């Protein structure tokens, strides 16, 4: 027997009304809410939310390296007859912060893969602001003894945790927000915003060095930069509240009204990226090794390298760093757009080969002349763009969305900690040991290793991003 159900127009309207009420009562995940009404953010707004917050993050991080020469004597005691001991100790703390980055990359990456990209971005900027405030309030060694370096180490550990997760979350967020054929362009804003953060830190340091005497800078002036960083973190937090979630699984679960228990069961494990994709994890390490040593040498350590090895003026070195960073930021979108047309691989190969051949002669050209340092730094920036403009896209294209943030976060941050974070310390150590000429060769060898890795990479620029 076949039973037919006849639905009258009035009943049909009532059922549709009940269905609408049921759907409206389903609470969407917080990360998927649009900032105003029901209209989702545009790609430009997504780009701004990631970039501005990232710039604030990196201002806080880089203020430390740019101002280390001023507060080293305040926090660390001098060694007997050796004026480099406080600076060396300060850069050792800089390296310690980097070794928290793999932990941050793993933990914050897991948050981004399990709870959404926006949740991770919110947490990282809160941690960075707190760490910056703690640096600003660090007591002096004269006043508190060993407590001073302990407070500084804790602050850098917190910031290292934050910045390790920031790259993983913001990289995935930027690339997933990009439209077809624009992943390279969006990827380049990872380093545009990073560079803006460096510019703010370098510019603030240069301005303070101009307005204050060296004695004032050493006593209290350096603290102003870190207080500014803590305030900027609050602004970055507010801007990121307008971002829209890009994690496909989170969006799909919300749209399908998936029960919370089922969502939790479907979330990836903490080490799933490493366990299921070991080859991709090693590939991230190889991609990053040469890029990170070149990046931190040219954008962070070079002013200090010029001071220590060529007697360059402290204030002038900050000014040179600021000018070269403006040039670097302008290059990034051009490199990103070029990679969308010709592919990621040609840019990576040009970068690695260029630094393998030119790192040693370029660093040996650094003298105490203003123009010398400016030309060397800008020349390195041109080569470096081949890596920085495409790094975010290349990394994101290696992993599927389910484990993308954590999959990138741990191996990338581990490699950066091992080679990038130790660059200032290694360079200063070579100088103290009486072999400053070895550091350029150290940079060249790591770039040669990455060149070999780039040769094996498949081209991913024109493939669809794996969900």
What's residue 6's pLDDT? 47
Contacts of 32 (CB under 8 A, 6+ apart): 116, 244, 245, 250, 251, 254
Q: What is the DSSP string of 381-416?
A: HHHHHHHHTTHHHHHHTTS-GGGHHHHHHHHHHHHI
Alpha-carbon distance 206 to 221, whole Å?
A: 11
Average pLDDT over residues 283-300: 91
Average pLDDT over residues 353-363: 93
pTM (2 d.p.): 0.77
Alpha-carbon distance 194 to 389, whole Å?
A: 11
- Length of the chain equals 467
Alpha-carbon distance 90 to 94, whole Å?
A: 6
Q: Are the beta carbons of 51 and 189 closer than 8 angstroms?
A: yes
Percent residues over pLDDT 90 in the chain: 28
pLDDT tens digits along 368-409: 888 989 999 999 999 999 999 999 999 988 888 888 988 998
Q: SS3 for 36?
A: strand
Q: Are the beta carbons of 290 and 449 closer than 8 angstroms?
A: yes
Residue 80's pLDDT band, with cuts at 50, 70 and 90, is very low
Residue 361's pLDDT band, with cuts at 50, 70 and 90, is very high
What's residue 263's pLDDT? 53
What's residue 28's pLDDT? 37
What's residue 19's pLDDT? 46
Residue 260's pLDDT band, with cuts at 50, 70 and 90, is low
pLDDT tens digits along 105-146: 899 999 999 888 888 998 999 999 999 999 999 998 888 888
DSSP 128: H
pLDDT for 451 beyond 80 = yes
pLDDT for 25 beyond 70 = no
What's residue 258's pLDDT? 52
Alpha-carbon distance 462 to 362, whole Å?
A: 35
- Which is more confident, 23 or 115? 115
Residue ranges covered by each domain of the chain: 41-250+277-456
Tell whether domain 41-250+277-456 is in CATH 3.40.309.10.
Answer: no
What's residue 193's pLDDT? 92
pLDDT for 254 beyond 70 = no
* Residue 159, burial from CB neighbour count under 10 angstroms (0-12, 13-18, 19+): buried
Smallest CA-to-CA distance from 33 within 243, 223, 217, 221 is with: 243
Work out the number of other CB atoms within 10 angstroms of the CB of residue 17: 10
Alpha-carbon distance 466 to 385, whole Å?
A: 25
Alpha-carbon distance 459 to 397, whole Å?
A: 10
Q: Are the beta carbons of 288 and 172 closer than 8 angstroms?
A: no
Alpha-carbon distance 286 to 398, whole Å?
A: 13
Smallest CA-to-CA distance from 237 within 344, 121, 371, 342 is with: 121
Phi then psi for residue 234, to 5 deg, are -65, -40
What sections of 137-221 are H helices per DSSP? 141-144, 147-177, 183-211, 214-216
What's residue 444's pLDDT? 94
What is the token pair recorded at 424?
């200032």
List the Cα angle 426/77/60 in 5-degree steps: 60
List the Cα angle 59/64/65 in 5-degree steps: 100
Percent residues over pLDDT 70 in the chain: 84
């Amino acid at each position: 027997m076949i039973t037919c159900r006849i639905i009258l127009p009035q009943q049909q309207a009532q059922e549709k009304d009940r269905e609408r009420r049921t759907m409206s009562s389903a609470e969407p995940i917080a990360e998927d809410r649009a900032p105003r009404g029901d209209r989702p953010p545009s790609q430009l707004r997504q780009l701004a939310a990631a970039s501005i917050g990232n710039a604030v993050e990196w201002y806080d991080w880089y203020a430390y390296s740019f101002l280390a020469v001023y507060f080293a004597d305040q926090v660390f005691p001098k060694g007997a007859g050796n004026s480099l001991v406080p600076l060396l100790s300060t850069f050792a703390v800089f390296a310690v912060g980097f070794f928290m980055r793999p932990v941050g990359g793993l933990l914050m990456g897991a948050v981004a893969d399990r709870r959404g990209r926006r949740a991770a971005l919110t947490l990282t900027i809160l941690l960075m602001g707190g760490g910056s405030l703690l640096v600003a309030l660090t007591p002096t060694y004269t006043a508190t003894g060993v407590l001073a370096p302990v407070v500084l180490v804790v602050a850098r550990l917190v910031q290292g945790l934050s910045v390790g997760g920031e790259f993983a979350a913001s990289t995935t967020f930027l690339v997933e927000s990009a439209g077809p054929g624009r992943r390279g362009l969006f990827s380049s804003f990872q380093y545009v915003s990073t560079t803006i953060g460096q510019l703010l830190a370098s510019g603030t340091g240069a301005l303070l060095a101009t307005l204050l005497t060296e004695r004032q800078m050493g006593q209290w002036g350096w603290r102003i930069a870190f207080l500014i960083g803590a305030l900027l973190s609050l602004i970055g937090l507010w801007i990121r509240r307008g971002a829209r979630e890009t994690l496909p699984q989170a969006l799909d679960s919300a749209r399908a009204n998936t029960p919370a228990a089922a969502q939790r069961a479907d979330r990836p494990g903490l080490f799933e990226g490493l366990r299921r994709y070991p080859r991709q994890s090693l590939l991230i390490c190889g991609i990053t090794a040469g890029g990170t040593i070149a990046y931190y040498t040219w954008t962070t350590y070079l002013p200090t390298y010029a001071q220590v090895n060529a007697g360059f003026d402290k204030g002038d070195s900050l000014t040179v760093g600021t000018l070269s960073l403006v040039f670097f930021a302008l290059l990034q979108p051009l490199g990103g757009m070029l990679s969308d047309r010709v592919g990621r691989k040609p840019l990576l190969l040009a970068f690695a080969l260029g630094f393998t051949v030119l790192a040693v002669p370029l660093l040996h050209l650094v003298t105490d002349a203003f123009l010398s340092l400016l030309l060397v730094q800008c020349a390195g920036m041109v080569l470096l763009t081949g890596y920085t403009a495409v790094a975010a896209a290349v990394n994101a294209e290696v992993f599927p969305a389910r484990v993308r943030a954590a999959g990138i976060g741990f191996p990338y941050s581990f490699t950066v900690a091992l080679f990038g974070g130790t660059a200032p310390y290694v360079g200063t150590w070579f100088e103290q040991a009486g072999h400053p000429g070895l550091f350029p060769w150290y940079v060249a060898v790591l770039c040669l290793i990455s060149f070999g890795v780039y040769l094996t990479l498949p081209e991913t620029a024109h493939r669809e991003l794996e969900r």
